[in-house]
A and B are shown apart, each in its own frame.
Chain A
Amino acid sequence: MARRELPEINAGSMADIAFLLLIFFLVTTTMDTDGGLTRKLPPMPEEQLEDLPEVKQRNVFEVLVNANDQLLVEGQLMLVSELREAAKEFIVSNPAREDLPEFKLTDIELMGKDYPVSKQIISLQNDRGTSYEMYIKVQNELVAAYNDLRDELGNTKFGANFDDLTEEQRDAIKEVYPQRISEAEPKSIGN
C-alpha cells in the first residue's frame, strides 16, 4: 500500500440534512383533501317559461327550512336525523300507497323491460335567514338518501356497492334512482 488514498468525505450527516428537509416538507404539506357536496345548478331560463310541466302533489317531497333552522317535511316538523329515512321511503315509493309517488314503467338496460321507476322529485326551499350549516346538513341527508338506495340496489342486483360497479351498471341504477333535487328560490321572511 504505497499510494495514500484520499480520505473519504463522511456522508453520514447527509441523512441528517435530508431528514431535516423531509421534516420541513412533512410539516408544511397540507394534504388538501378538498371535497364537498357536488351539485349542478339549473341553467338560467332564457325567457320565463309559460307552460311549466304539471307535477302532481304526491310526486313531490317538500322540504322547507325556515330562518330558525327548523325543518318542515311534507307538512311535518322533523329533525335532520329523521330526514334520510323519510326521503328514502319516499324515493322508493310503494304501489300500495296513495300518498307516495307514482311509477313509470321504463325500459332500462340490465334491469329489464318495464321496470317501475318512481316519479319522485324532492323540492327544497330555504329561507334567506337559514344558516349555511343547516342547509348543508339537509342537502347532505338528501344526497345520502339517494346514495343509500343506490348502494342497496347495487347490492341486490349486482352484489356490490354503487361505487364498485361498472359504468353500465351505474347508469342503470342511476336511471332507477335519478337524483332529482329541485331548489326553489328562497323566501325572505325572517332575516
Chain B
Amino acid sequence: MSKFKKKTGNRQPAISTASLPDIVFMLLFFFMVTTVMREVDLLVEVATPSATEITKLENKALVSYIYIGKPMGALKKTLGEEPRIQLNDAFANKSDILQWVEMEKNRRDEAEIPRITWSIKVDAETKMGIVTDVKQELRKANALKINYSTMETDKIVD
C-alpha cells in the first residue's frame, strides 16, 4: 500500500485554476449587464463644458436628450457651421420640439411623466441664442425639469 502513498515532500500542490473561468465569467456578466450601448448616432459635435456642482442623472429610462452643436465632420460641407438641434436620430428645428416632447411623454407611463428629465447636451462654443430658443420651447411644452449636461471638473477657470 505504501506504493500509492503520496510523497509528502516540500513540493506544494499546484493551486487549482478550475474556478478561474467562473470568476472571469462573473466579471463578464457584470460588464455585459452594465454596458449601455450608445442609443443614438450623433450628428452634431457635442463637447460639453465642465462644471463642479454636478448632480448625477439616476434613472436613465427617464431621461430624454436634446443635442445642440455644429454638424459633424462630413456633414459640415453641406450644412455649414451653424449650430443645429438633434432630436433622436435626426436634425430638427425648434418648432419640432413641441411634438417631440409629446412623443417622449407618450413613451412613458403617465405616472412617470413629471419625473422625466430633459437633458440638454450643448457644445461649449454654441451661442446662447439657440439654447434659449430651445428652453423656451421646452417651457411651452411643459417640460420643465432640465439638466445642462456637463463634464466634471475640480475648478472653474476664468
Mark A residues whose CB is within 8 Å of B. 11-12, 14-15, 18-19, 21-22, 25-26, 28-44, 79-81, 126-133, 135-137, 139-141, 143-144, 147, 185-186, 188, 191
Cα(A32)–Cα(B38), bound, Å: 9
- Apart from A19-B24, A44-B139, what 16 extra A-B contacts exist at CB < 8 Å? A15-B20, A18-B21, A22-B24, A25-B28, A29-B34, A34-B149, A36-B51, A43-B139, A81-B158, A129-B128, A132-B128, A133-B125, A137-B49, A140-B51, A144-B53, A186-B132
List of B residues within 8 angstroms of A35 by Cβ: 54-57, 147, 149-150, 152
Residues in B with CB closer than 8 Å to A132 are 49, 122-128, 131
- Contact of B55 with A36 in the complex, beta carbons under 8 Å: yes
Residues in chain A near residue B132, CB distance under 8 A: 128, 185-186
Min C-beta distance of A40 to chain B, whole Å: 6
Instruction: Report B-chain residues with C-beta under 8 Å of the C-beta of A38.
Output: 55, 117, 145-147
Mask for B24-59, Cβ within 8 A of A = 1, else 0? 110110011011111000000000110111111100
Please list the residues of chain B having a beta carbon within 8 angstroms of any beta carbon in chain A: 17-18, 20-21, 24-25, 27-28, 31-32, 34-38, 48-49, 51-57, 60, 63, 117, 119, 122-129, 131-132, 135, 138-140, 142-150, 152, 156-158
- Residues of chain B with a CB closer than 8 A to A41's CB: 135, 138-139, 143-146
CB atoms of B24 and A43 under 8 A apart: no
10 contacts between A and B (CB under 8 A): A15-B21, A35-B149, A36-B51, A36-B55, A37-B51, A37-B55, A41-B135, A135-B128, A139-B148, A147-B53
Query: Which residue of the partner chain A has the closest CB to B145?
Result: A40
Cβ of B53 to closest chain A Cβ, rounded Å: 4
Report the separation of the CA atoms of residues A12 and B20 in the bound assembly, to the nearest whole angstrom.
9
Taking a contact as CB atoms closer than 8 A, the residue among A34, A129, A133, A144 that contacts B52 in the complex is A144
Check A36/B52 contact, CB under 8 A, given A128-B132, A191-B127.
no
The docked-state distance in angstroms from the alpha carbon of A114 to that of B17 is 69
Contacts of A79 in B (CB 8 A): 158
B residues less than 8 Å from A37 (CB atoms)? 51, 53-55, 147-148, 150
Contact of B31 among A22, A32, A34, A141 (CB under 8 A): A22
Residue of B nearest to A83 (CB): B156
C-alpha gap A147/B146 in the complex (Å): 19
